[in-house]
Amino acid sequence: MRKPVVGVMGGANAADEVLRQAEEVGRLIARRGWVLLNGGRVTGVMEASARGAKREGGIVIGILPDKDDRQATPDLDYAIITGLGDARNLVNVLSSDVIIALRGGAGTISEVALGLKNGKRVITFGLPLGPAFEPYRELCLLSHADSLEQAVQQAADHIQTKPSERP
């Protein structure tokens, strides 16, 4: 049976608190035995979440926007080199079973939007989204978590749901 893949999205430039959150969510994902997928670079939420997962013995996949792996975080088990630039955000979300989005900027918002447009379950933590996203909340594709533990539990609930029963 394939291990669930949880995408962790967030800012490449992030405050210390967000980096601590990213590292913790990486640890929580690894403790569940899931695979963590992110943008793969040696910066921000990507680096911190990969580090957290690796410290717990987890598996980390990085979907790099570059044509080589020179900017890859050393905590990757698998570096997928795409040469796609920002278009790799679609690969990130389509390759994830569920997405946890932490605070970030336009790139993070694009991943959230692409995920939702493609029917992916997205859980936000510390990432306020406006009323334009309300239809996705009503479809149960988008939710907010008040803690990292709650975000991971929401991901678990989604993963445990049979594919035919998912929204």
Full DSSP string of 81-115:
E---GGGHHHHHHHT-SEEEE-S--HHHHHHHHHH
- Look at residue 165 and tell me whether its pLDDT is greater than 80: no
Q: Does residue 167 contact residue 140 with C-beta atoms inside 8 Å? A: yes
If you average pLDDT over residues 94-115, what whole number do you get? 97
If you average pLDDT over residues 86-112, what whole number do you get? 97
If you average pLDDT over residues 137-141, what whole number do you get? 96
Mean pLDDT of the chain: 96
Q: What is the pLDDT of residues 112-135, one digit of tens each?
A: 999 999 999 999 999 999 999 999
If you average pLDDT over residues 34-53, what whole number do you get? 98
For the chain, the domains span 5-165
If you average pLDDT over residues 67-93, what whole number do you get? 97
User: Which band of pLDDT confidence, cut at 50, 70 and 90, is reported for residue 1?
Assistant: confident
Pull the structure tokens for residue 6. 């949880």
Pull the structure tokens for residue 2. 């394939």
> What is the reported pLDDT for 161?
86
- Look at residue 166 and tell me whether its pLDDT is greater than 80: no
> What is the reported pLDDT for 103?
98
Nearest of 64, 3, 55, 1 to residue 25 by alpha carbon: 55
Strand ranges of the sheet holding 78-81, from the earlier edge strand across to the other edge? 78-81, 59-64, 35-38, 5-9, 98-101, 121-124, 142-144
Q: Which helix (H) or strand (E) holds 124?
A: strand 121-124
* Residue 11: φ, ψ to 5°: -70, 140
CATH architecture for residues 5-165: 3-Layer(aba) Sandwich (3.40)
User: Which band of pLDDT confidence, cut at 50, 70 and 90, is reported for residue 164?
Assistant: low
- Look at residue 42 and tell me whether its pLDDT is greater than 80: yes
If you average pLDDT over residues 134-156, what whole number do you get? 97
If you average pLDDT over residues 28-43, what whole number do you get? 98
Q: Does residue 38 contact residue 68 with C-beta atoms inside 8 Å? A: no
- Look at residue 163 and tell me whether its pLDDT is greater than 80: no
> What is the reported pLDDT for 117?
97
